[in-house]
Amino acid sequence: MIRGHACMQKEAALIMSRFTPIQTNGATSKLKRSLKKSHLKLDEAPRFLQVLANSPASLRAYIRADAALLRGQLTPRQREQVALAVAEINGSSYSLSAQYDNGKSLGLTHHEMQLARNATAADTKAETMLRFTQAVVLQRGEISDDDFQALRKAGFTDGQIIEIVANIALNIFCNYFNSVAKMEVDFPLLQPGTEVPRAGSRSIKDPARHAENRGAKTAHG
């Protein structure tokens, strides 16, 4: 049984977003240049990015941070496991739905993603990472020495530990922004605390994620 956050969101699909999505025809020239560099077409992007585009600076910051961490020391699977754990803890339906969809494209099984949402894994090293992630989110960074040293004992380097925290922070931003925005879910809806996406929910493909996954295979082997 998935243990979700006590304050789970209402079904996002039934809530009107507080922001109007921006598509290519409404983007500024500066934003269009940023999108061109990231090989992202805004009118085909997930609603999260379309809404975030109301602030070109925020969109650029997110795209650049995500791209930098993609080229970092954590594998795409590790990053996805962290994202799933953070979204479950924060009760973010949109983020959880998007990450579940992305996890499938990375080859994570339904069982592996269920485990990640509960901050656990079949692999001992991955479980240590997820327990640390859980502690950081729930304790707002005020972790114990034992929590920290567990990562070192599991074989994580200082650089990898820093990147775990960076990925946690980026995902918390996404979770909080989606909650504030009351983002309409444009992936198969997966609610925190439930085991499978809701049947019949609509989904759109995320070209940025597909490009990210192709790049991840090159960067991480």
Residue 44 CA: distances (Å) to CA of 4, 47, 100: 31, 9, 19
pLDDT at 201: 47
Do residues 174 and 92 make contact, with C-beta atoms less than 8 angstroms apart? yes
Amino acid, single-letter form, for residue 220: H
**Prediction pTM value:** 0.77
In whole angstroms, give the CA distance from residue 147 to residue 145: 5
In whole angstroms, give the CA distance from residue 14 to residue 10: 8
Compute φ and ψ for 186, nearest 5 degrees: -110, 30
Q: Is 19 exposed, middle or buried (0-12, 13-18, 19+ CB in 10 A)?
A: middle
pLDDT at 206: 39
Closest CA to 95 of 210, 183, 206: 183
In whole angstroms, give the CA distance from residue 218 to residue 2: 33
pLDDT in tens, the chain (221 residues): 444 443 344 443 345 678 887 766 555 565 666 566 555 555 556 788 888 888 888 988 999 999 999 999 999 999 999 999 999 999 988 899 989 989 998 999 999 999 999 999 999 999 999 999 999 999 999 999 999 999 999 999 999 999 999 999 999 999 999 999 888 887 777 777 777 776 544 444 333 343 334 333 322 22
pLDDT at 42: 53
Locate 56 and state its tokens: 């070109």
pLDDT at 15: 52
pLDDT at 36: 62
In whole angstroms, give the CA distance from residue 221 to residue 217: 5
